[in-house]
Amino acid sequence: MKKTLALLLVLISIFSALYAEGATEADDNIVTVYSYDTFAGDWGPGAEVIPAFEKATGIKVNLVSAGDAGEMLSRIIMEGDSCTADVVLGITDDMAYRAYEADILSPYDSPVLETMADHLKFDPENRLLPFDYGVFSFVIDTESDIPVPTSLEDLTSDVYKDKVILIDPRTSSVGLGLLMWTYNVLGPDEYLNWWKAMRENMLTMADGWSSAYGLFTEGEAPLVISYTTSPVYHVLNEDTTRYQAVIFEEGHQETIEGVGILKNAKHRENAEAFVDFVLTEGQRDIAVLNSMYPVNSTIELPDAYEYAPEPEILFTSDSDVVENQLDDILNDWIEVMTN
């Protein structure tokens, strides 16, 4: 028995050494990417983009689904030097300041930047590079019998009680986008009153977009915060125009999603190759499967994008407000929503 055990331990030691040697070699041909859940899901862009990148480059991708965008960023900051990610994908322009303050990103002057409109390049140091963008809106189920809202204030009417699904700005970039949308449209003196009223009208406050939109398409409520481009998915995949984005004359909030290389990336060259692929060959799949717009101006989109209405007025989050006041805005929001 002792001899058998000793032999087993020797074999384990040998195989462990061989595995470690092989793993070291493999580690040089890999890139670890943290992304939000929607990107990494079975129906997300990752299912198309990752295999295409691996085939084109021979580099293996370790794709980690790290929650919604806010949760993902918090995880990377919390993990600190022990974070294994080379690339983070999905940090939006209005939460980017947290990544800058934590000093977790390394600049990358990708040659693909020249294909982008200047207003999409939200980080002058190129720590985060835009890879897609969209516009927030409420999406309505046209088979419901509720009236189509015409403004944010409309949604506070009693007719929408328990009819609206919102998303938490503490955990989700979409929820944060809605918070900044109300701040920019209604102003610093009135936006909290909107949220007070919506405490009564919202069906629920979801933690992320996937759960919120899932409840919406399951028929739990006829209105959900999402994007003007959300109907594109239903046209392409379900051949239906049942779900439509609602446009308000007062304007809508634009959002830009960024991809960046971690400061402690162990596979820098592979990370750069991945970022460049996301900004070139991966652009169309990312835009279509994310139901967003590509940042690369050379990309042609399918006709289904005709069902993505374009608001005349767009708001972007002022960088000074985001960097200096967002924490206070969030704290005020928490106080209103929890009291």
Contact partners, residue 38, CB within 8 Å, separation at least 6: 44, 209, 210, 290
pLDDT band, residue 27 (cuts 50/70/90)? low
My answer on whether 262 and 327 are in the same domain is no
Render pLDDT for 239-259 as a digit per residue (tens, 0 to 9).
999 999 999 999 999 999 999
My answer on whether 126 and 175 are in the same domain is no
Nearest Cα residue to 258 out of 139, 104, 137, 138: 104
Percent of the chain with pLDDT over 90: 79
Residue 17 has pLDDT above 60, yes or no: no
β-bridge partners, 60: 30
Render pLDDT for 297-307 as a digit per residue (tens, 0 to 9).
999 999 999 99
My answer on whether 228 and 293 are in the same domain is no
pTM of the model: 0.84
My answer on whether 123 and 213 are in the same domain is no
Sign, Cα dihedral of 166, 295, 307, 41: negative
My answer on whether 171 and 93 are in the same domain is no
Q: Is 291 left (phi over 0), alpha (psi -120 to 50) or beta?
A: left
Render pLDDT for 261-277 as a digit per residue (tens, 0 to 9).
999 999 999 999 999 99
Distance between CA atoms of residues 160 and 115, nearest Å: 43
β-bridge partners, 137: 226
Give the pLDDT score at 6: 41
Which structural domain, as residue segments, surrounds residue 88? 2-133+256-300
SS (H, E, C) 109-130: CCHHHHHCCHHHCCCCCCCCEE
Render pLDDT for 316-325 as a digit per residue (tens, 0 to 9).
877 667 777 8
Residue 29 has pLDDT above 60, yes or no: yes
Q: What is the largest CA-CA distance in the chain?
A: 81
Q: How many domains does the chain have?
A: 2
My answer on whether 187 and 324 are in the same domain is yes
My answer on whether 241 and 265 are in the same domain is no
Give the pLDDT score at 1: 43
Residue with tokens 């990370």: 271
My answer on whether 219 and 323 are in the same domain is yes
Q: Give me the mean pLDDT over the 74-96 stretch.
A: 93
Residue 10 has pLDDT above 50, yes or no: no
CATH number of the structural domain spanning residue 218:
3.40.190.10
My answer on whether 101 and 57 are in the same domain is yes
My answer on whether 76 and 212 are in the same domain is no
My answer on whether 45 and 185 are in the same domain is no
My answer on whether 210 and 98 are in the same domain is no
Give the pLDDT score at 70: 85
Residue 5 has pLDDT above 90, yes or no: no
